[in-house]
Amino acid sequence: MDLPGISVLVGGMWVANLSYWGFNQYITQRALAAKSLDEAQKGMVFAGFLKLLMPLIVVVPGIAAWVIVKNGIDAPFIASMQDPITGLTKADRAYPTLLQLLPTGLKGLSFAALTAAIVSSLASMANSTSTIFTMDIYTKYIDQKASQTKQVTVGRITAVVAFLIAALIAPQLGQLDQAFQFIQEYTGFISPGIFAIFFLGVFWKKTTANAALVGAGLSIPLSALLQYQFKALAFLDRMGVVFLVIVTLMVLISLIEGKGKDHPKSIEVSRDLFTTSYGFKIGAFLITGIIAALYLVFW
């Protein structure tokens, strides 16, 4: 249901990964802030190597918790993972419960690292939210002559409002069995549309603005419809289906509206845009090889 076999490798996983690494606002914004193309590439390769640690950080603790619960090794540990009302074991309690098994000092270090990671992600998202609203909405449609000081103020207010909205919505979600799974699934409501817009916008000169608007507007409704009508469909497969539908519609709309002509504001894609250093090539091949090895060993 969550990892639907071979379709992970040829379907929605590509949408999730390429959307995150290539078209995610708070990832690309940091890369664009680099002092040079070479520095941006070094940062992305370094981030790729750090991402390889995720199986160790996320999967191994879950396996350890599963073994403890299955074999009844630690009764207090098992009790702390159970819901006090239903008595069922809660998967999302595995990680914080495992932290309790660490010695004093290492436990605090782990908690501090976890807190820092959460704060860093929230800061990046708040920065991206305020930037998008201020630059793409406020300065274009509300106050086109806003000064830099006013833009900064609007951005700060936007970040505060975004956190307030999140704080009001969060309690309505109730108790989640797996928070990480929830985040990945519902991020997948948006990422197929965003990925389709950027992918066609960059690599296909005939893409029109109205086609992009249709793609953006249909991503969430299509995902919700598929989730409601096909409950047995894995969310990664759903992302792949939504992406293909949106791309098809965008291509048809662009051909009809643009009559087969290149859009006047299309991006000129040349070989220079894909120039990379030898260090980047070596790092990219190493990351690809390690990922392939991980799949071959643990599939």
Mean pLDDT, to the nearest integer, of 60-87? 72
Task: Record the pTM.
Answer: 0.74
pLDDT value for 124 = 80
**Top-confidence residue, 87 or 246:** 246
Tell me: pLDDT of 250 over 80: yes
As a whole number of angstroms, the distance between CA 212 and CA 255 comes to 13
Other beta carbons within 10 Å of 7? 14
Tell me: pLDDT of 103 over 90: no
Query: Cα dihedral angle (29, 182, 7, 282), rounded to 10 degrees?
Result: 30
pLDDT digits (tens, 9 = 90+) for 24-71: 777 777 788 888 888 888 988 998 898 888 877 777 877 888 787 777
pLDDT digits (tens, 9 = 90+) for 265-294: 777 777 777 788 888 999 999 999 998 898
